[in-house]
Amino acid sequence: MNYTIENDKIKLTVSDHGAEIKSLIRKSDNTEMMWQADSAFWGRTSPVLFPLVGNYYKKTSVYDGKSYEMGQHGFARDMDFKLSSQTEDELVFLLKENDETKAKYPFAFLLVLSYKIVDNTVTVGWKVENPNDTTMHFSIGGHPAFNCDLDTYKLRFEKSNQPNKEITANIIEGDGSGCLGDEQSTFQLDNGILKMSDELFSRDALIVENKQSDSVTLVDNNGKDVLSVAFDAPLFGVWSPVGKHAPFVCIEPWYGRCDRVGFNQKLEEREYGNTLSAGETFTVSYDIILK
């Protein structure tokens, strides 16, 4: 089921399946900002990635001597959430563990996703609660896809409101594992601007680590800002499907990422993994700001 909230600037629609944004309309010109999940290119719009961002090495993690297999980006995006509350300006969804998740992931959890609109901004909130009596390990990330023409639109990267001079991105290994190799690419930027193309994404996502930027702005063919994604995440991804010339780009704040090729698969030793002691809560958010 879809749920909609709106104000005089924007109209937001979220599905309880995956608690996924399905539409974000700029009312000034009735423009749809979100990719509409055409499966010929990519059949999703803005999935949440939990409890895994990217891939485990060999699709497997090991915890307390037991192996757990999980597909790319975890299971939350394919599950039905419960609507917890709805007001004029906010939607809140809940997801808890079940027998299916326990077969893939060793922990009980409460995942709370919220969407709040203020003026021209959507704040996407994530809260993870640890109900276990042991330490919990997890990753979480966003994957919002925005309509654009890769041939003419650009991205501007900024840190503390200052344009980046360059960004360095890790590259997915070309062995089909969906994991990182040792290859990196450094992109020189013109006042923070990076041109997009099919070639830019020829090796899958660009994975930008070490808080190099805290805002990524989509800029149209006339040089006008379309929207910004602002975050305090330790890393982020930028992606469009390989070889499809898809009419969208994803700007993805992450708290976690795929393993490196050859990783020992121990869940508690994953790079950028998050830990919660028994009873603790992890709370973060990011903003989608329409221009």
**CATH code, domain carrying 169:** 2.70.98.10
* Residue 285 contacts residue 128 (beta carbons within 8 Å): no
Distance CA 155, CA 29 (A): 22
Reported as a pLDDT band with limits 50, 70 and 90, residue 176 is confident
Tell how strand 166-172 and strand 206-208 pair up. antiparallel
In sequence order, what are the residues at sequence separation of 6 or more whose Cβ sits closer than 8 angstroms to the Cβ of residue 57?
Answer: 177, 179, 259, 260, 261, 262, 263, 265
Residue 227 lies in a domain: yes
Residue 106 lies in a domain: yes
Residue 148 lies in a domain: yes
Reported as a pLDDT band with limits 50, 70 and 90, residue 69 is very high
Tell me what the mean pLDDT of segment 93-109 comes to.
Answer: 97
Tell me what the mean pLDDT of segment 1-20 comes to.
Answer: 98
Reported as a pLDDT band with limits 50, 70 and 90, residue 210 is very high
Mean pLDDT of the chain: 97
Residue 107 has pLDDT above 90, yes or no: yes
Q: Which domain holds residue 179?
A: 2-39+49-131+139-273+282-290
The residue type at 32: E
Residue 144 lies in a domain: yes
Residue 44 lies in a domain: no
Tell me what the mean pLDDT of segment 203-223 comes to.
Answer: 96
Alpha helices in the chain (DSSP H): 99-104
Q: Looking at the 3D structure of the chain, how many domains does it have?
A: 1
What global pTM score does this model have?
Answer: 0.97
Q: Classify burial at 202, counting beta carbons within 10 Å of its beta carbon; exposed 0-12, middle 13-18, buried 19 or more.
A: exposed
